[in-house]
Each structure stands twice: as C-alpha cells, then as structure tokens.
Structure 1
Amino acid sequence: MKNYRFYLMILLSFLFVAACVEDTNLEDAPPTSEDARFTFSPSSESDNVINFTADKEFFLMQWDLGNGSTAEGRTAQGRYPNAGTYTVKLTVFNNNGSAEFSQDIVIAQDDPSLLDSPTISFLTGGLSQVDGKTWVVDANRDGHFGVGPNPSSDAGDFPEWYAARALEKEGSGMYTDEYTFKLENSRFVMETNGLVYLNVEQGGNFPDAFDPGVGDLSAPYTAPDNLTWTLQEEDGGYPVLTISEGGFLGYFAGTRTYQIINIEENELFVRFVDGANEELAWYVRLVPKGMEGEAPEPEEPETGDVNFTLSDLVGEGAKTWKLKPAAGAFGVGPRPMSDEFFPNGQDISEERECLFNDLFIFSSDGEFEYDAQGDIFGEFYMGLESEGCQPESNLDGTPGAAWASGTHGFEFTAGSANTNPKITVTGTGAFIVLPKAFNGGEYTQGPPNNNASVTYTVADYDEETKELTLVIDITDSGSVWWTFVLVPNE
C-alpha cells in the first residue's frame, strides 16, 4: 500500500508539472492556427444543430459560427435551419497574440422544425408571409427608445435612465428605416431610406456622420444585400436575436446582438448592450409597418379634480402612511399611474414585504419621518453587497447610510383648479417609498445629495378608501414615471 501511494504521488506530480509546462508554453509563444483547430458533430436534437469543441483551451476563445451568431469559450453550438455551406471560425488569444482557424460545415437539407416557434412566427410572419414581416421604430409612442443600466436594476428591463418622447428623434433617420425578417434562408433586409441613427461613439465607423440636432449622430448608409438573422432561444432567458455584419435595428451602438424583452404580433421590444460602454443598455421598441398609429398628446396627471388637503395628510397632529399591499401600488411606466415597465400588473407585496412595511409619518409641525421597521429592500446603488430584503443595519457605513430611517422636513402645496397638490420632502436622504428616485433622474450610486428636496405630485386621492396616489417623473421628457399608492397605517 505504501508503494502504491508513493507511485501515485510521483504520477500526480508529473501530471501537474506537465500541465504547467503546457500552460507556460501557451503563454510564452503566440498561438498558431494549429492551436485554434476544432472538431464538430451534430447534436442529438437535429443534424442542423452542430456542437463545436476546440482542441485546446485558451483564456479567451471567440467563435464566428457563420450564421450571424457568435459565442465564447471552448465549446459552442450553432443552429442552421437552412441547407448550405457555412464557414465557422475560431479565434484564440493568449498574452502574446492571437490566431484563427476556419473550416466549412455543410448542412445537407433544411430543418423547418428549427423555425417552428412563436418567437420566429411573430418576427417573420411565419410560413404564410412569403415576403416576410417589416418592422419600424414605434416613433409615435413614448419610450420607443432609451437607455438604462447594465446589468438592469431590480426594477426590470426598460429604459430606466432616459426614454424618448414620441417623435423626439424626428430627422435622425431612425423613423424612416425599415427592417424585414424573412423565414426563407433567414434573410434580413434593412432599408435605410438614406440615413441611419447612431451613438456618438460610433461616428468614426460611418463616413460623413453629422449632428442631426436631436442628439448623437446620423449618417448616410446603404445596408448590404446579403444580410441574415439568427435566433437563439434558451430556457429561462430572453431569446437572443443576432443580425449579420452590416445590419442593425433602430440605433447603432456597436452591437448587432439583441435580447428580445417582449415580442407579440404587433410589438418587438429589444435590449442591447453598448459596444463602447458595457455599463449602458439601450432599448428600441418596434411595430409592424403601418401600425405606428398617431402621436399621443403628452400625458400629465389630471389636474383640478384632486381634493386632498394638508389635514388629509397629517390627520390630527400626525398621520402614518404605508404602501398599499396590492397590484398597482408600486410601479414604473411611460406615463403617470402606469406600471407597464415594472411590475406590469403583478402584486409584489409579499415578494417585497420589507418595502411594503415601511412607514412614512407626516406631522402638522412640518416634520417627516421615515421608519423602515428594521428592514429594507436594498439595491446595489446604495453600496450594498446584495439586493433584496435585508436588515436595515446593512446600510451602516455604506454610501447609502443616509437612506436609512430618519427625520426630515416636508412642505405641502395645496392644489388649485389648474394644479395638483404636491408633497415636498427635504433633507439628506429624504424620500417617499423609493430612495433612488428624484425629480428628473435616479441615483446610480450613493450617497444622496446633501439637504436635497424631492417633490411628489398627488395624482389621485379616494376620500372613501383614503388611498393616496403619488407620482414622480424621473426624466426631463415626462416619459418615465414612478407611481406609489399609500394608505393610512391602521
């Protein structure tokens, strides 16, 4: 037994040294095309779904699957619904350089089953639409274009930081471009009608780019004729749409890969990460050509009919309010009293019990108190290590410490025939319901501004149920509104 252990230790030592030598060689010398070789074989799902495996492993490995899709890592999988020859390329990198290896794969026949999904039917119009389905940016709808954080905050995937108003980008080229998805050969046709709209960081890639007067850049551009699209659908994640080199949707920010946040017969809502700044995620909402509708009138809270007074707010000296534990009581959308962006009609009061038990106390002497009841719904912008319900004490020593329980001041502005009542809270870290939201923006990191004021508009008050609806616009354009419905804490 001792001899067995001795020889085993020698063998393991030899293998460890050999592995180190191999890794060192890979790091010391630039890789060659031989290092980038790979094998492939059909999957069990279909002969048109191919699994690829690299012969060797490098710290960075990038695949071009020849169908418009890309992947990273030692293994990859490509889906090829249509017969044809596809050139697959693997590029490997080490500290001293890179190398690539390509080989063709031949798909013998079509596999229509790979195109048989609701997402693809919505996207292309399905088998009944031989000429495909043409989409355009939904220019007449608030929130058709915008930007938010990457990764998305806990509020969901929507243009949280900025959302364009209807027709705000008129003249940029965004609204005249058309995008046709065809089922046959996965064709993608991009008709620019002369101009495209692009992020300012991408101006160097487009000759003659210019300032259209609505922000960012526009440029003359004619898309290639041989564009294609691919779709990857995985359980538990958004479908991923990829458009081949030379094509894109709505706004070019350096990427051609899109998460499909929502797709229906008459809506396609996509998210894509900025190619020059991975902390940004852009959003574009499209509709089938001809379904754009008319531009809506700007929406504001109804005025002149909200009967809410200071006495209603403070009661007989002091009054305590909390979120109503019901759907619609906490949400964000493109207009006041909408939760279309999040949580879209869902009741999250049990999921976020720590948020719905918060108390907001208004006193007749102008004092406003926030009482978190010992727990908070924490988010990363507060400087916390995790998101979700957690002890309020986790805020101690963080940039978000001022958002803990505390006492501040408030002012009440009575309504009139033309204006709604307003509640303004003032103090470092003063807020109602949502710490990060303020007039015209949201905090992306703490601490909050010193001695700042935040004003909430009373959008509605039900004298019978005592439900108080507050709204706050976090944009300069009136296109993203948070809504909170409070009830007395009885």
Structure 2
Amino acid sequence: MTMKKYIANITFLLLTCLVWAGCELEDPELGLPPTTEQVTFSHTYDTDNPNIVHFKSTAPGFKAVWDFGNGNTAEGTDVDGAFPLQGDYTVKLTIYTSSGSASNTKTINIAKTNPLMLDREDYNFLTGGANQLEGKTWVFSPVGPMNFGGQVANGGNNWWSQPLSEQFDCMKDDEYTFSLAGFKYVNNSKGAMWGINNGQENQCVPQPATPVASTWSLYQENGKTMLSVSNGETIAWDDNAGVYEVMELSENRLHIRKVCCNGDGVRNYVLVPKGFTPPVVQKPFKVVDINDNFDEVGNFTWSLDKALFNESFDNPAQIGINTSDKVARYTKSAGQANEFANVSIDLGYRIDLSQRHVFKLKVFMPSFNDYTTMGGAEDWAVKTLQKQVAIKLQNSLLGGNAFTTQAEVVQKVTQLDQWVELTFDFSSVSTRTDFDKIVVQIGGEGHFNPGIFYLDDFRLMP
C-alpha cells in the first residue's frame, strides 16, 4: 500500500467514527477524571512545635489546594498548617488534573494549645489578647462613616456613608465580642439586627434571646485579609453569610467590607471598642485653586449621586461665550429615586473662603427639556423641572445631615439654547471653616422630572 493510500484510509476511518459514532477514540493526554481514592496525602508534626503540621500531597495532578479546617488555606504539593488550638481538624486536599478534580479529607489531632502562637498583633487587636480572655467587645463607630450599598467601582464611597445616629434603631445597640479563648464569637444584637426579613431588605430582624455559639477566624485569601464567623452568624447585616474583607484592624478601629447586592454593591462597616470615643480629626484648612474646563483634566474629582455625568462631551453649541470643544453633560433621570440627583466634589480639606468666595460656571439649558409639566414631587417641592443651578457648600462629617448646615446659592436661568455664565457669591459665609464638600445641582430637587443640561468652566475665582 502506498503512503498516499494509507493516509486516505486513516482519514476515512476517522471520518466514519465522527459521523456514525461507531468507534471510540481515546486521548491519552486527557485520561480519566481523578477519583477520591487517588487523593492521598501524608502529614507529620514539626519536631520543635507539634502545633505546626507538615502536609505532603502524594496524589497526581498539576495543582493541590488545601483547606486546613481552621479557616486557613494553602496551595502546593508541600505545605505547612498552623494549629494553635487543641482539637481535631478536618483537613481537605483537592487535586486538579487535566481531566478534572477530586477531594479527600483526613482528621488530624492537635494535642495541646500553644499560647505562644496566639500572641499575634491582629489577634490581640481583635480580642484583647491573652490578658483579656473574656474577649473584646466592638460596637459601631458613632462617627462612621459606614456604608450600605455603594458601588463596587468606588468602594462604596457615596451618599450612603452616614454616622450611626442616622441608622436603624436596631443597629445602634449591637455589640460583637471576639475572644481568644476558643476563638469564641458572640453576636449580642439585643433582640434585633438590621437585614432581610421575610424577603424584605432594610428591616429589623428578630434575633434569638440567647446568642448562637460561634467562632471567628482571621485568614489570608487571594492576598486579602479575611474575617469570618461561623454557624450562620454575621456582623451588622443579617444575611447568614458572615465573611468579610478586613480593610483596617488596629487597637481602636475595625473596618470590614463585603460585596453585596448581587455583586453590584459594597457594604462597609466601621467598629470601635465598646466605651471608646473616636476622636474627630479635622481636615486641613486651605486656600486652593478649584477649576475644571472639561477640555483638560480638572484639579479635583467629581462624585456622582444619581446624576449621570459625562465629563468629556462634545460641545452641543460652540457659540457665544463658549466655543470650547468639550463640556460636561449633566442628566437628571426621571423617577423618585433621582429626585435629589447631583454631582459633588469631596475636597479632602476645609476650604478657606476668607479671600476667595465666588464660584462661576457656564451652563447651557436646552429648550427640548419639559419645564412646564407638573410631575410627581414631594409636598414641599416645586413640581416642575427648574431652570436653575444650585451650588451648596457642606460639612461632610455630618453625613446625611450635611444639608442641615449647608450654605446654598441658587441662580435662575432665563435664556435657553445658549451658553450663559452664572456667579455664586458665598461672601455671607466667608468666615465659616467647616466646608469640605461642594455640591452642584441642576434642575431643582424634590421632583421626579427628567432633564438634560450642559456645564463648562467651573471655577473658584481668584
């Protein structure tokens, strides 16, 4: 048989197998998926410290992942596990091959507690350490800020950041105790906890009179420090998922966060030791330039609260006093959820208005907006879209109550379909030293009507 005929016959056989499924072709590279019986490993106790256990995978595969049963994990063929506390631990090894994965477990016994291994800075911060075996009790920080649904993209830093005084009553008396002895965790929420009740969010959820026995664990996962509590217990929000990323842990501050809202939001919680009053740290007091012409990057960052804001939009009308290429498009969407839409500037310092207290901006109000229809609105609000721009200076330390001490200047716009320049004079509050936030709101507030506007050349005049 010639080589050409041989290749032709082989090709015919392959095509016949594929079309008629009349034969099976084995791929020696893939093989069969691993079985539980193939997942084997050995362990030996460290000769100097039997609370350190050396594990070695004797299973096939290109990847070995370990769960030590104490909240800690590792990856690799040869790994070490640390077990400070006496007890039995179920260690699970999962192996991965080119054909799949499989797991198996083994129970190891730690004969004695090693107190020296518990003398860690993070453990001591969280629990009070070996000299405070009754544990350390944490409560929500009275000055916050806490956050209950901010966007993942900006870490939850939006208007939901509020002090404890603005939260649900059932949150205000919550206490959470972490003990080094037995890694015990107690959720003492005094009868009710904020969360989901009967499918409804943001409810005070009844809790057992006797706290559920639970434990805590601090561990590393994907480069992050994680805090978990067991047995369906939680911190702050009752959702039966008590795993949190630790953003900060010090003697007097515990900041934890978790992704929520089907992956679209982030919840942040700030706690302090019971009886500790956190100091209010004043921001520096500065005279600083503030400007953004939208053709170039401004010297601050805009934050959005419900308003849609395109900071690099083609100028819709390069006429009159504004022939620049780029402007900002500000959109207030319809609906009650957007009745207070605005954009703002979190300065990071307290603004000194004693020498400069006049803001200016250019605005273009299109005639295609509906300024006459009376839509839904709050009882106190004007029920139509307003031809106006408001600038508000606020103290962000007041959180959701910042509006109660704000200074506001509102300018009406009488000319549509052309650029006009507005001036906002805050000389009447030039001696105030608490403003660290600037809010810009177009179209009014308290009503549910939509509108589109254009903004340019925002600046604090020298």
Is 1:245 aligned to residue 231 of structure 2? yes
Please tell me whether the aligned partners of residues 261 and 269 of structure 1 are also in contact (alpha carbons under 8 angstroms): yes
CA contact (8 A) 1:146 1:161 kept: no
Rg larger for: 2
- Assess if the C-alpha contact under 8 Å between 2:45 and 2:54 holds in 1: yes
Alpha carbons 1:159, 1:282 under 8 Å: kept: no
Hey, what does 1:220 align to over in structure 2? 207
State the match for 1:260 in structure 2: 246
Q: Verify: 1:85 aligned to 2:88, yes or no.
A: yes
Q: Secondary structure at the match of 2:126?
A: helix
Q: Distance in 1 between matches of 2:290 and 2:175?
A: 48
1:126 to 124, 129, 144: 129
Task: Determine the C-alpha separation between the residues in 1 that align with 2:389 and 2:75.
Answer: 47
Secondary structure of the corresponding residue to residue 402 of structure 1? strand
Q: Deviations over 1:187-212 (max 9, x none)?
A: 222223322322x4xx5xxxxx4758
1:179-218 counterparts in 2 under 5 A?
179-198=176-195, 200=196, 209=198, 211=200, 215-216=202-203, 218=205
1:399-453: CA deviations, max 9, x gaps? 874299724699xxxxxxxxx977666469xxxxxxxxxxxxxxxxxxxxxx997
Distance in 2 (CA, whole Å) between partners of 1:73 and 1:43 is 18
Query: Which aligned pairs between 1:4-403 and structure 2 lie closer than 5 A?
Result: 21=28, 23-26=30-33, 32-40=35-43, 47-50=50-53, 55-57=59-61, 64-69=67-72, 78-90=81-93, 100-138=103-141, 140-150=142-152, 153=154, 159-160=157-158, 162-171=160-169, 173-198=170-195, 200=196, 209=198, 211=200, 215-216=202-203, 218-221=205-208, 225-232=212-219, 239-253=225-239, 255-274=241-260, 277-291=262-276, 360=292, 369-372=293-296, 401-402=312-313
CA distance in 1, matches of 2:299, 2:314: 10
The letter of the residue matching 2:167 is K
Question: 429, 438, 456: which is aligned to 1:472?
Answer: 438
Deviation at 1:270, TM superposition (A): 0.9
**Structure 1 CA distance, aligned partners of 2:255 and 2:76?**
29
| Paired letter, 1:472 | I
Task: Give the distance between the partners of 1:463 and 1:169, measured in 2 at CA.
Answer: 30
Against the structure 1 CA distance between its residues 455 and 187, is the aligned structure 2 distance closer, same or farther, given a 3 Å change threshold?
Answer: same
> Measured at CA, do residues 64 and 249 of structure 1 come closer, stay the same or move farther in structure 2, by a change above 3 Å?
farther
The 1:161/1:469 distance shift into structure 2, 3 A limit, reads closer
Paired amino acid for 2:249: I
Moved more, 239-248 or 452-461: 452-461
Question: Is residue 224–residue 245 contact of structure 2 (8 Å, CA) maintained in 1?
Answer: yes
More displaced 10-residue stretch of structure 1: 124-133 or 239-248: 239-248
Distance change (3 Å), C-alpha of 1:187 and 1:166: closer
Letter of the aligned partner of 2:272 in structure 1? V
**In structure 1, what is the Cα distance between the partners aligned to 2:278 and 2:301?**
40
Q: Secondary structure at the match of 2:172?
A: coil
The 3 A distance-change label for structure 1 pair 131 and 406 is: same
1:387 match:
none
Provide the secondary structure at the position in 2 that maps to 1:21: coil
Q: What amino acid does structure 2 have at the position aligned with 1:25? A: L
Structure 1 residue 130, shift from structure 2 partner: 2.2
2:269 alignment partner, SS class? strand
* 1:378-457 equivalences in 2 (<5 Å): 401-402=312-313, 406-407=326-327, 426=363, 455=391, 457=393
Structure number with the higher strand fraction is 2
Q: Is the 8 A contact 1:144 1:286 kept in 2?
A: no
Amino acid at match of 2:181: E
- Judge conservation of contact 1:63–1:71 (CA < 8 Å) in 2: yes
RMSD: 5.5
Q: Is the 8 A contact 1:424 1:455 kept in 2?
A: no
Q: Deviations over 1:142-178 (max 9, x none)?
A: 423433343x53xxx554462234333324x333332
Aligned partners of 1:422 and 1:457 also within 8 Å: no
If the length of structure 2 is used for normalisation, what is the TM-score? 0.53
In structure 2, distance between residues paired with 1:96 and 1:216: 47
SS in 2 for 1:120: helix
Partner of 2:122: helix, strand, or coil?
helix
Per-residue deviation, 1:248: 1.9
The amino acid of 2:30's aligned partner reads: D
Deviation of 1:83 (Å): 2.1
The question of whether the paired residues in 2 share the 8 Å contact of 1:92 and 1:98 is answered with: yes
Aligned 8 A contact 1:248 1:256 in 2: yes
Distance 1:76 1:257 in 2: 24
**Residues in 1 aligned to 2:71 and 2:440: alpha-carbon distance in whole angstroms:** 38
1:179 corresponds to which letter in structure 2?
A: Y
